[in-house]
Structure 1
Amino acid sequence: MKYFLLCMLLLPVMRSEAQELYIYTEPASNIPAKSISAKLSANYAEGMRGESKGLVQRYRPEMYMGLSKNFMLRASGTFANMHTSAFKFESASLYGKYRFLSKDEAHRHFRMAAFADASVSKAPFRYDEIALMGNKTGAEAGVIATQLINKLAISGTVSHVQVLDKSRFEDAPLNLPYQAMNYFLSAGYLLFPRKYEDYRQTNFNIYTEILAQQTLDTKRYYVDMAPGVQFIFNSNSKLNLGYRFQLGSDMNRMARSSVQLSFERTFFGAL
C-alpha cells in the first residue's frame, strides 16, 4: 500500500520526465528526492587492443542518490578489457549535479543544472579521445539545459574536461591531449502510451543524441551520433539500448562504433 501511494504521488513527475532519461547523457533533471537508483551498463565494440582488432567490453555499475530535489550524487566504477587482454577492474568515479533553475508549467518545463565529475582510472593513456568513463584519470565540469514540451524533450550539454594523467606533469610531457570541450545534444520522444491511465503502463521512448568533442591542445575532434530506444516498466525500471557511431573525426580512437545496453532500477523514498 505504501509503495502504491508513493507511485501515485510520483506519477505526474515520471510522466513529464520519462522522455528525458537519455541513454548516453544526463538531463538537467535529477532522480526523485530521497530516492536511490542502481544501474548496470554494458558497452561492446570492435576495438583496437595492441596490434589486433577484436571484441572489447566494459561493464559499469552505478548508484544514484537523490539527496534533494535539486542535488544528486552518482558513484560508479568500470570493469573492462578495452585496454588490456585481461578483464579486470578499471576505474572509479564520483559525479554530482545541482539543478539551479526550474521553470515548470503544465506539460512543459525548462531546467538548468551544473555538474562536476572526477575519475581515477588504471587504463593506459593510448587514445586521443578524452572520456572519464574508464578511459582517463581526470575531472570534468559543465552545464546542462533541458526543455520539455509535451512528449518531446531536448537537452544540451557543454563541459570542460581535464586529464590528470601522470605523464602530463613530467619534465617532458608527451604530445597527448590533456584538455577538451564536450558538446552534447540529445532529443527524446515518448511514443507510448498515448494516454496515461496507470503507473504500471510500459513507456516506450526513442532517442537521438549527438556527441562531440574538441581537444584544446592537440586540436583534434570527433562527432558521433547515438540513436536508441528505452522501455520503462512499472514506473521504476528502465531498459536502454543504444548504438553509437562516428560521423566524423581526425582522432586516434579505440573504436568508431559501439553498442550499449543498460538496466536501471529506482527505489523511491529509500533515503
Structure 2
Amino acid sequence: MQKNIFISILLLTVFGQYSNAQELFPLSEAASSIPKNALGIRLFSETYKEVDKIRNMTYLRLMYGVTPRFSVYLTGITSNHHGENFPVEFPFHNTPERGAKYPYKFNGVHLYGKYRFFSRDGENEHLRMAAYAEGTLVKTTHHETEPDLEYGDNTGVGAGLIGTYLKNKFAVSGTFGGILPSENSGDSPDPIDNLPPVPITIQYGKALTYSLSFGYLLLPRKYKDYNQTNVNLYLEFHGKAYQTAKVNLFVGEANEYYLESVRYPPALQGNYFVDMSPGVQFIIRSNLRIDCAATFHMLGTTYARLYPVYCIGIQQYLFFHKKR
C-alpha cells in the first residue's frame, strides 16, 4: 500500500514538472524539459516505399535530465537510405537513384541538448520556451542537397528555438532553427568498366527548419488516477528551406573541376517544402508512450523521401532518485 502511494506521488510530481500529455508531440520536440535524473529510452522507426523497395530509418535514443531545465539526448541511427558510394555519373544524372538496392547499415550518432529558459505557469495552462543545439557524426553518401541531422543523413550542426503553449486539453508548439551541414567526400563509379571511380566532394545546402504542432487530449474525459490510458490526437506541420549544393569533381591527381556553371539535377538544387503529419498517441500508466503517425506532402519539393511516410515510436522513462 505504501509502495503504491509512493509511486503515485512520484508520477504526479514528475509528470507535473515534465509536461502535459498533449504536448508530447510524436515528431517534434516541445519546450518542456526532462526531470532531473530521469532517463528516457525511445525506439523510433520511419518507413516508406520507394518503387519496389522499402526504405527504413530506425534509431535508438537515450534522453537524460541533467538539471530541471537542461536535457541531453544521444541517438544511434541505422537506415537503408543510401549506398557506400555516390551513384554512377553523380552529380549529372537525375539523383537520387530511385529503387536502388542499398545495405541496411549503422549511419552514426546524433547529440542534442535543450535548455528551457522561460516558463510561465498558470491554472491549467503554461507557456514555455527553450533553445536547442544539435550535432551529428555520420558516415553515409547522402545524394540530395537537403540536409537532415536527426535522421542521420548528414554530418553537421544545428540550433534553434522552441515555444510551447498549453491551455486545458489543447497544446500548440512551434520550432524555428538552422542546419549547417559539413562537406562529404566519396567516389562515383565510372560507367565504363575497368576505369577508376571519380572522387567527389560535396557541400550540402544550408537549411532553415520550421514546424508547427497541435495536440489535443481526447481521453480520459476526466482524470481519476494516473493508471488511466491517455489518448492524444496530433496534427503537425514540418518543413525546410534549403540551398543548392556545391560539388567538386577531381579528375586526375591535380585537376579539380568545380561545378559552378553546370546546371544541377533537381535533387541538388535549392528548394523548400512543408509536410503534414496527423498522429495518435497512447500513454499507458503515465509512463509508457506509443506514437503512431503518417506524413504526407503539402507544399514545395523534397527528394529525400517519398510519401506517405509511416512512423512509430515507443518510449519509457526510468527515474533515479537519491535516498535521503
Q: TM-score by structure 2 length?
A: 0.76
Distance in 1 between residues matched to 2:305 and 2:228, nearest whole Å: 40
> What is the CA distance between 1:131 and its match in structure 2?
1.0
> What is the CA distance between 1:228 and its match in structure 2?
0.4
Of 291, 307, 312 in structure 2, the residue corresponding to residue 240 of structure 1 is 291
Q: Secondary structure of 2:20's match?
A: helix
2:120 partner amino acid: K
Q: Secondary structure of 1:9's match?
A: helix
Distance in 1 between residues matched to 2:78 and 2:129, nearest whole Å: 32
Distance in 1 between residues matched to 2:33 and 2:54, nearest whole Å: 34
Structure 1 residues 157 and 150: CA distance shift in structure 2, 3 A: same
Q: Which runs of 5+ in 1 are unaligned?
A: none
Of 255, 264, 269 in structure 1, the residue corresponding to residue 306 of structure 2 is 255
Q: Is the 8 A contact 1:6 1:268 kept in 2?
A: no
1:224 partner amino acid: D
> What is the CA distance between 1:11 and its match in structure 2?
4.9
2:180 partner amino acid: Q
- After superposition, give the CA deviation of every residue in 1:22-68 in whole Å (9 maximum; x if it has no partner): 11110000122221110000111113xxxx65111111000000111
2:72 partner amino acid: L
What percent identity do the matched residue pairs reach? 33
- After superposition, give the CA deviation of every residue in 1:140-182 in whole Å (9 maximum; x if it has no partner): 1000000101111100000010111235xxxx965x6420101
1:257 partner amino acid: P
Of 6, 9, 24 in structure 1, the residue corresponding to residue 10 of structure 2 is 6
Following superposition of structure 1 onto structure 2, how do residues 96-245 of structure 1 map, counting pairs within 5 Å?
96-132=113-149, 133-167=151-185, 174=202, 177-217=204-244, 218-245=269-296
Q: Secondary structure of 1:166's match?
A: strand
Distance in 1 between residues matched to 2:239 and 2:286, nearest whole Å: 31
Q: Is the 8 A contact 1:229 1:242 kept in 2?
A: yes
> Which of these two proteins has the greater Rg computed from alpha carbons?
2
The corresponding residue for 1:41 is: 44
The corresponding residue for 1:30 is: 33
> What is the CA distance between 1:78 and its match in structure 2?
0.8
1:73 partner amino acid: V
Q: Is the 8 A contact 1:128 1:251 kept in 2?
A: no
Distance in 1 between residues matched to 2:317 and 2:296, nearest whole Å: 29
Q: Which runs of 5+ in 2 are unaligned?
A: 84-101, 186-199, 245-268
Q: Is the 8 A contact 1:164 1:178 kept in 2?
A: no
- After superposition, give the CA deviation of every residue in 1:222-248 in whole Å (9 maximum; x if it has no partner): 110011000000101100001011112
Q: Secondary structure of 1:3's match?
A: helix
Structure 1 residues 130 and 257: CA distance shift in structure 2, 3 A: farther
Distance in 2 between residues matched to 1:73 and 1:11, nearest whole Å: 18
> What is the CA distance between 1:256 and its match in structure 2?
3.2
Q: Is the 8 A contact 1:37 1:266 kept in 2?
A: yes
Q: TM-score by structure 1 length?
A: 0.90
Q: Secondary structure of 1:8's match?
A: helix
Distance in 2 between residues matched to 1:173 and 1:92, nearest whole Å: 22
